[in-house]
Chains A and B, each alone.
Chain A
Amino acid sequence: MTADEPAPGSSDPAPEETPRVEVRNLAKRYGSVQALRDVNMTLHAGEIVGLVGDNGAGKSTLVNIIAGALQPTSGSILLDGKPVSFRSPIEARAAGIETVYQDLALAPDLSIWANMFLGREKTVSGPLGWLGWLDRKSMMAETAKDLERTRIRIASVGSRVGRLSGGQRQAVAVSRAVAWGSRVVLMDEPTAALGVEQQARVGELIQAVAGEGLPVLLISHNLQQVHAICDRIVVLFHGTTVADLRPKDTEIDDIVSWITGAAIASNRKAS
């Protein structure tokens, strides 16, 4: 399968429009281990794309490459049609790509607002600002505004993150990514540590994010959730993108058979 030939079940939503992110023939090799063989996928503005696959299929490697934490062995990534290559997550962030890591990367001893602005703190203007004097008021106000959009209510932006529940922390991490991410948000298993109700809440939050035009690439083992909230589902199998599915035309069992490789075999027989 090549990039020009769409995977089974896919129908590009707006073929003439340049995808926000396009991954072409991406491969990554660690010594003798071929983590990614041939990955091709697109992500359009406002889309939620689920990235699924068995353990070791290469999901985290792919996300880490897009997020700048790893460099590909070959292949290319295009951001709004322009090829990019990031040497670090900092460069990816500067390009507008934000990542919500599985461990959330929050500092539990810091307040919510300090976490929202971690590494990008605002300082007051004037000589005190040159010394790094924080503009706490404006950071608190912006944090309150950003959190309002999440619909997960938190009593005070001054609360320490360590005091928040799992869902609230998730909301903080997602809000931070959304607030700073201007092009795309990557989420690595954002609901793995959450209860059912909180998973649903985070799901709504992701849909709200995409509704504002920011595309989300969602890695998850939770196929019910992926099926419920994603616009498309990309399946990785042994480091290769084998399917690009639309949830409305697909049953969860079909996704499972793509993940396990059963569908590839039957597809071959059929064709």
Chain B
Amino acid sequence: MNLRLTLLTAGRVLRQIRGDHRTVGLLLVVPCVLIGLLAWMFDGTPFFGRIGPALLGVFPFVVMFVVTSVATLRERTSGTLERLLAGPLGKADLMVGYALAFGLMAVVQAVIATSFAIVVCDLDVAGPVWLLLLIAVLDAILGTALGLLASAFAQTEFQAVQFMPGFILPQFLLCGLIVARDQLPTALSAISDVLPLSYAVDAMSAVATQADPLPDAGLDLLVIAAWIAAALLLGSLTLRRRTP
């Protein structure tokens, strides 16, 4: 991996996003609107305190998954991927460049969404707020890494968008937000023990409810980091320099 080429690529991806004001707006505003909506729905009940933090981990994951899978698919179909791989850029430079750029977007998104949840919606967080942000950013990078991987299996943008329900919804259903994970049927509970979003939600809940969440959340973060590494590795295997 070449750091200079990686940073150049991350800069290029950020420049592409920056040129698209509507996407930037949607990335930053939509999570706040949804969190506001939830806070309002559950006004006067303890539910928002329970699922609010978990959603702060789910939004960046979902949004970055969709954005990345479409962006990478465009790179494949426009011929720029072939051009890049014919040049000196390595596969890892490209993958990590994308992860860095979207990771940075995720930092901004997480700061805004978390501030909105705490300041405007009065979300109570027992643990340190920086840990909440760290988890949100890792969730976003996880979404980016899985999006890069998913884009390899899509030939059109329509297919890429379909991966959202295909890849994400099962994880969302099994992550413990709807039914606590230990109350799921045994087989589903075992599956949810493998899926990365479960750990994202667990980590967020730990920060929300524990004053010293690091022992619990730290382990969850390690699992998420392992998933990121595995997805980036698998994703880079799907990038082929030579094609038929």
A binds B: no
